[in-house]
Amino acid sequence: MDHKIPAPCRRERIMAAARAVFARCGFDKARLDDIAAAASVAKGTVYWHFRDKATLFCCVAEDMVSRDLAATLHASSQSLSAVQCLNSLLEVFLKRLVSVHEESGSLVFELWSSAGTSVPGIGEFLLQAHKRWRDAIKRILEDGRNRGEFSARLDLDATASLIMATLTGTIVNLRFGGLDERSRLDNIRQRLLLAVQAW
């Protein structure tokens, strides 16, 4: 079944299949047999690359966060203004949430749903992901403050925390109803940008 596929490709195929299965079935109902079948590999191959289902779930989530942050950092390296970089970061984050009915959006909500359960490592992963996003926001704010785009009095820690609190609240609103229109998410993004510039 999977003998002709090079090991790095097998791992990528397993990750892609796991993303789809976790998004479709959720963590609890996802079976490694289904992931292996979707990846066209033997179940033992899944265990060769990942210790267990929770490890695979965390690896899939880490890959998603790393890709999103890489897109944000790429924007930061393009000699854009800090406002443009912050806008890019917010667009990447909110775009992920808007895709609720797509694989990536479903995976975000599955992560949040699993955080309060006994899935090993998910709570710690979410704390670290939150910190990485917050640190990226703080770096953009600091760059903008240093370049005079934002007030010299801008409290970097408090502002980064407020932006993350808004984004976290947006996740909760999307997950449990009340906020589902792209235009409303764009409004949140625009208001955050205006608020940071006014502080």
Token readout for 36 is 């292996």
Domain 1-50 has CATH 1.10.10.60: yes
DSSP 112: H
CA distance 142 to 152: 9
Q: For the segment 168-196, what is each residue's pLDDT rounded down to a tens digit?
A: 887 777 666 655 556 677 788 888 888 88
Q: What is the mean pLDDT of residues 2-14?
A: 73
Token readout for 3 is 């003998």
The residue ranges of every structural domain in the chain are 1-50, 58-198
Q: For the segment 99-124, what is each residue's pLDDT rounded down to a tens digit?
A: 544 555 566 666 666 666 666 777 78
| CATH no. of 58-198 | 1.10.357.10
Q: Residue 39: is its pLDDT beyond 90?
A: yes
